[in-house]
Structures are given as C-alpha cells and as structure tokens.
Structure 1
C-alpha cells in the first residue's frame, strides 16, 4: 500500500466512524443479501458483532501506517476464523459488502481513488488472514 492509499483510507474512515452503527447495519444487510448462507455463522443478536466489526476496522485502519505492528493480530483473527467455519470464499463476500457499505456511507466522498485504496487495504488484510487460517489448518 502506498502512503497516499493509507491516507485516503484513514481520512475516509474518519467520516464513517460517526455513523458506525448505520454503516454496520448496511454492511451486514448487504452481506446477508449476497451470501445468505453465512447468516448462520453469526449470533441472532448482532448488536455486539456490529460493534466488534467497527472496532476491528478502526484498529486496522489506524494501524496501516505500521502494518508490521498489526499483522500478528490480523493473523490471529484469521486463525480464529477456523473456529467459525469461515472459508476463503467468505472473504470475497465480506469485501463486497464492505465496499458497498463504504460507498453508501461516504456518498460522493467515495471517489474512485478512495474505493481503490479500500480495495487494496481489504485485499492485503484478507490475504494475511486467509494465509494464517490455512497455516493453522495445516499445522
């Protein structure tokens, strides 16, 4: 990731943070629309899950300037996904739902450059999580 991409992601997330609740609603509504089979992986009451999602995204976004510092936590999260029957395919759905929610939440501020920066960020972090998850299964 370039410093410009990191800046775009961090600046745009500052605009999403004040609408974290509705943004999480949009995200999960979209996720369950495009991948209804993943709904059973989540609790019936999504309140805590939505808060965790936004907190996790915040930690990741804030850590982008020092990616090496957050990689162990990202890897651990990937390994923990084995306990929830998450598959690599699920990451594609999550990425699609994330980009959709950001687009809705940011409106006109979700420029092509901002979108590309978020796609790069998500792809980078998801790749780390998937690799850690696969390594944990192989071990």
Structure 2
C-alpha cells in the first residue's frame, strides 16, 4: 500500500476510536446477521472483550502496515489461533463485508469512496496473509 492510503486508514481509524466500543458491537451484530455460520464461533465469548480485541488488532495492523517484518508474524499467529477457534476460509469474506459496512456507519460522510477503497485494499492484503498462514499446506 502506498503512504497516502496508509494515512487515510490511520486518519479514519483515529476518527473511529471515540466510538470503538459501539462500533465493535455493531460489527459483530452485522457479521452474525450477514453470516449466521459465525454465531457459534462466539457462543461462549464475552463480546465486550472481543470488541476490544478487534479494535486492538485493527490498530496494530494499521500501525504496522509499512513494516511487514513486524506485521506478518503477528498476522500468521492470529490466523493459527482463528483456525483453532473454528474460523473457516469463507468467514474472511463475511468479516470484510461487515467491516466495511461498520466503517461506513461509524464514519458517515467521512467514509468516502477513497477511504473505502483503502480499507478494502488493506483488508484484502491482511486476509490473504492470514488465509495463506491458516489454510495453505507448505511442502516440507
């Protein structure tokens, strides 16, 4: 990603920070509406704590986008944990759609087409890395 797009992500994420808790709740509600197969993944989850984790993960990713040596190992580790929780490859598309929808709701007019494109690109990059780490079999 270029530096301009990274700046758009950081600025928009910063504007989301004051409403992080309700935004996270909105995200999970939308995710489970869009993809009911995700509901069992959170059956025994403290959703407030999960929302904090979501925002921390997004913040970490946005903060380190241009430093792959820091970001990639964390994404791979997170992907492995998600497999253990039961996350399937198909869930990544649902998460991406719910994330963009939530950002649109949370940022309102600030969710311009340019900002949306930057988030879509960033999510695609992050999801590809995670799916590769989680589901691709490597030759020994």
Deviation per residue, 1:85-125 (Å, 9 max, x gap): 11111000000000000000000000000000000000000
Any stretches of 5+ residues in structure 1 without a counterpart?
Answer: none
- TM-score w.r.t. length of structure 1: 0.94
Separation in 2, partners of 1:44, 1:64: 28
Q: Give the corresponding residue for 2:75.
A: 74
Q: Give the corresponding residue for 1:9.
A: 9
Separation in 1, partners of 2:2, 2:50: 30
Structure 1 residue 52, shift from structure 2 partner? 0.6
Count matched residues.
139
Separation in 1, partners of 2:17, 2:69: 24
- TM-score w.r.t. length of structure 2: 0.93
- State yes or no: 1:95 paired with 2:96: yes
Deviation per residue, 1:45-75 (Å, 9 max, x gap): 3111111111111111111132331110001
The 1:44/1:73 distance shift into structure 2, 3 A limit, reads closer
Q: Give the corresponding residue for 2:111.
A: 110
- State yes or no: 1:124 paired with 2:125: yes
The secondary structure found in structure 2 opposite 1:64 is coil
Superposed CA RMSD in Å reads 1.6
Any stretches of 5+ residues in structure 2 without a counterpart?
Answer: none
Q: Give the corresponding residue for 2:20.
A: 20
